[in-house]
Amino acid sequence: MLSFIKEFWDFLKERKKYWLFPILIVLGLFGALIVLSQGSAVAPFIYTIF
């Protein structure tokens, strides 16, 4: 897993694809929000965001 991240980082640096970072960060935050909210009392309120 760590080698994938390093290789992806090298790809982004070499190809100058820095605009992908905000997209990846937002997707990661949404994924973490969904995973952490499953089975909690906050889950019904998350659906109003989407």
- How do residues 1-50 score in pLDDT, each as one tens digit? 788 889 988 988 888 888 888 998 999 998 888 787 776 676 677 677 76
The amino acid that residue 27 corresponds to is L
Does residue 8 sit within a domain?
no
d(CA 46, CA 31): 12
Does residue 13 sit within a domain?
no
Q: Which residue range is the domain that position 24 belongs to?
A: 20-50
Does residue 45 sit within a domain?
yes
Q: What is the pLDDT of residue 27?
A: 92
Does residue 30 sit within a domain?
yes
Domains in the chain, number: 1
Q: What is the pLDDT of residue 8?
A: 85
Query: Model-level pTM?
Result: 0.59
Does residue 41 sit within a domain?
yes
Does residue 24 sit within a domain?
yes
The amino acid that residue 46 corresponds to is I
Q: What is the pLDDT of residue 5?
A: 83
- C-beta of residue 11 within 8 angstroms of C-beta of residue 3: no
d(CA 34, CA 28): 10
